Chains A and B, each alone.
Chain A
């Protein structure tokens, strides 16, 4: 079992603010790190898949970085909008088993 931890547990920001949150995972036997966005009453949707140390991925105002040597990934949201309100999950795997963190719940206040 992998211990994947996310912080903070929840976050409230004003519209237009930029924000970031953290995912930490065991650095040994690393395969991949996933970020998912999970809106209320919907299913998680994949945002990023990262496999290499130093990877940086970007999708619109959302970006992510990966440090496999120290076992952490950051997710950044620039200029938060109300539609960014969701829970953001990260997951890492050991072989065929993916382990998820408990998520960061983001609320963007208009």
Chain B
């Protein structure tokens, strides 16, 4: 059972470039989300999805797009990378939505540097 798989693990981008961070889970979880982790800021929610075809914004959505065409996949797109998007990105999933009665399963993270 692979759990939550994130790729790539490391990436360096130039300002203005675009890229997609991949996230896939094989646990049939309804809920998937993207967080970024910055020093002193903790984990901040970027976007989340409560099921295939449904996405919504979190706390810090600007500069990022998401889609959820299947239950398994939830890619995060950086449209035009900026140095402020240098961060560690985590994808997380959960079996159900709304109540929070299940813990998250996290991916291993993607360390992104924008120069």
Real binding pair: yes
The answer to whether B99 touches A32 (Cβ under 8 A) is yes
Least Cβ–Cβ distance between A97 and chain B, in angstroms: 6
How does the 8 Å CB contact mask read for A82-102 relative to B, with 1 for contact and 0 for none?
000000010111011111111
**How big is chain A's contact interface, by range?**
20 to 34
Give how many B residues have a beta carbon under 8 Å from the other chain's beta carbons.
28
Can you list the 10 inter-chain pairs with the closest CB atoms, starting with the nearest?
A46-B103, A32-B100, A43-B106, A102-B42, A100-B43, A93-B100, A31-B100, A100-B42, A49-B103, A44-B106
Residues facing B in A63-110 (CB within 8 A) are 89, 91-93, 95-103
Cβ 8 A contact of A43, one of B41, B48, B98, B107: B107
Complex contacts, A45 vs chain B, CB 8 Å: 106
Interface of A is mostly: strand
Number of interchain pairs (Cβ within 8 Å): 66
Which residue from chain B places its CB closest to the CB of A92 in the assembled complex? B100
The answer to whether A96 touches B106 (Cβ under 8 A) is no
